Amino acid sequence: MIRSRLLPLLLLGLAVGASAQEDYRSDFIVGVQTPEGEPIAGATVLVGGRGASTNAEGEATLRDLAPGRHRVQVSFLGYETRTLVARLDAPGPWGLIVELDEGAVGLDEVVVEARDLSRSRLAADGFFDRLDLGLGRVLTREEIERKAPIRLGDALTGLLGVRIVTNRVSAPGDVPGRSAVATRRGAECQMAIYLDGVYSPFLTDDVDAITAQDVVAIEVYRGPTQIPTFYNQLGRGEGCGVILVWTSNSLSDAQ
């Protein structure tokens, strides 16, 4: 059972702005407590796509909310999640008090499978040796996830000495919207891209041709002196640099 009440904080002795214009914004304070009135610290409060956590007093503040109806969701581990609708139809600030009942919460068992990567295609190509030697610039899966990229080009954006160049159609046969990776030396110095150890002319011409979802690592070598020996002798225009993209397929055993 949930008990909640919505009231202007004027009733609590706090001042309310006098303006009643349609473009007003209101602060919204949500108090979360147990049925016994004990504040719940650390509860998550979501209001219209925005979120906050309750403090030691069990209060979370969301500022500058537009007038109208707002979906409010309150949750805390060990308690039942509650969802309700608050209507802010006058200048605030406003306050909402929500009581959460304890509920049985079961946590799914997490099974982690250990995998020996020593025989993987990634290891056979020398990835871990290059990583230990500190060659080039390596983006690990953890770094890629922190960037939250959608396309491969998003993961490469912002790297030192590398830039994404979008084709603007300057010659017959050019396809608009394709994005290549170039060094800082100029747009014409296009880096060669290899996918799981195999040269990919498709990715070289359009780095955004694949998503970053299955990418587990990226190696970036910006010039001939950095490029691993094997990739520096294939005649793929490596004078401008090489990018090695490794997907989850590279974690399987090498043939």
Distance between CA atoms of 184 and 182, rounded to whole angstroms? 7
Q: Is residue 114 part of a domain?
A: no
Rounded CA separation 29/137 (Å)? 46
**Please, how many CA atoms are within 13 Å of residue 146, restricted to the half-sphere of its CB?**
6
- Rounded-to-integer distance, Cα 252 and Cα 149, Å: 24
What pLDDT score does 234 carry? 61
Judge whether residue 161 has pLDDT over 80.
Answer: no
User: Which has the higher per-residue pLDDT, 52 or 166?
Assistant: 52
d(CA 184, CA 133): 25
**C-alpha span between 141 and 90 (Å, rounded):** 48
Q: Which of 44-48, 103-107, 114-118, 198-202 has the lowest mean pLDDT?
A: 103-107
Quote the pLDDT of residue 253: 73
CATH of residue 218's domain is 2.170.130.10
The answer to whether residue 113 sits within a structural domain is no
Q: Is residue 112 domain-resident?
A: no
195 bridge partner residues? 198, 245
Q: Which residue has the tokens 């909310």?
A: 65
224 in the same domain as 150: yes
Are 154 and 86 contained in the same domain? no
Select from 45, 67, 99 the last residue of a domain.
99
Q: What pLDDT is stored for residue 160 in this prediction?
A: 76
- Which residue matches tokens 């799914």? 108
Task: Quickly list DSSP for 96-150.
Answer: EEEE--B---PPPP--------TTBHHHHTTHHHHHHHT-SEEEEHHHHHHH--S
**Rg for the chain, CA atoms, rounded:** 27
- 58: in domain: yes
DSSP, collapsed to helix, strand or coil, labels residue 232 as helix
Q: Provide the CA 134 distance to its chain's centre, in angstroms.
A: 26
Specify the pLDDT at position 235: 61
Residues 91 and 125 in one domain: no
DSSP 205: H
pLDDT in tens, 166-191: 754 444 444 444 567 766 555 567 88
Domain count, the chain: 2
What is the rounded distance in angstroms from the CA atom of residue 122 to the CA atom of residue 83? 47
Q: Which of 41, 65, 99 is the last residue of a domain?
A: 99
Instruction: Report the alpha-carbon distance of residue 245 to residue 121 in Å, rounded.
Output: 13
The mean predicted confidence, pLDDT, of the chain is 75
Domain that holds residue 152: 121-170+177-251
Task: Mark whether 31 and 77 lie in a shared domain.
Answer: yes
Asked if residue 58 and residue 129 are part of one domain, the reply reads: no
Comparing 21-30, 53-62, 182-191, 234-243, which segment has the lowest mean pLDDT?
182-191
pLDDT value, residue 1: 40
User: What pTM was computed for the model?
Assistant: 0.51
Percentage of the chain surpassing pLDDT 90?
7
Element (H, E) at 155: helix 152-156
Residues 163, 85 share a domain: no
The two tokens of residue 37 are: 């009135």
Question: In this structure, are 17 and 74 located in the same domain?
Answer: yes
Residue 11 scores a pLDDT above 70? no
Identify the bridge partners of residue 28 per DSSP, sorted by sequence position: 62, 94
Final residue in a domain of this structure, among 51, 67, 99:
99
User: Same domain for 16 and 69?
Assistant: yes
Which residue, among 119, 127, 129, 128, has the nearest Cα to 255 in the 3D structure? 119
Mean pLDDT over 122-144 rounds to: 86
Query: Could you read off the pLDDT of 80-109 as tens digits, one per residue?
Result: 888 888 877 777 677 888 999 887 544 455
Statement to judge: residues 80 and 143 lie in one domain: no
